[in-house]
A = this chain, B = another copy of it.
Amino acid sequence: MANECDDVPMSDVQVEACPIVQIIDRVAGKWSVSILVAAIRNPVRYTELERSVPGISRRMLTLTLRNLERDGLLTRTVYPTVPPKVEYAATDSARELYGHLTGLLEWAERHRPDIIEARERYDALVAAA
């Protein structure tokens, strides 16, 4: 990712921005939020996730799960049965984070008209050039 906050000298602007960027990175990417949403509803198994999130490859599913687990947003529980059973569950931490994300959503809904208008105006300008 290369968004370490402390490897190079930073301006004060970056000092303020960096911790925010780190959190955003944590849930950025195509799949993280979908998996989080699925796991928050109730604990889910690997194959179940594959079905809940159509389009995701095994590779990305595993990578995303590992990252979320590493950050303490998911727990991974292995039941040593045959065949194997693994469950992923959202942590309290993840639920709280999700609360903040829905806060963002509220912002988006309130500003949807502004955003659409801004885009249309911008695209019109670009097209004119």
Could you list which residues of chain A lie within 8 angstroms of chain B, going by C-beta atoms? 2-3, 8-11, 13-14, 16-25, 27-28, 30, 33-34, 36-38, 41, 51-55, 69-72, 91, 93, 96-97, 100-105, 107-108, 110-111, 114-115, 117-119, 122-123
Contact = CB atoms under 8 A, between A and B. Distances in A.
A99 B110 CA distance: 14
B118 A70 contact: yes
Contacts of A36: 17
A14 B72 contact: no
A122 B17 CA distance: 27
Nearest to A99: B107
21 contacts: A8-B55, A10-B54, A13-B34, A14-B34, A14-B54, A17-B33, A17-B34, A20-B33, A21-B30, A21-B34, A23-B104, A24-B27, A24-B101, A70-B119, A72-B115, A72-B117, A72-B118, A93-B115, A96-B111, A97-B104, A103-B103
A6 to B, nearest CB: 14
A24 B28 contact: yes
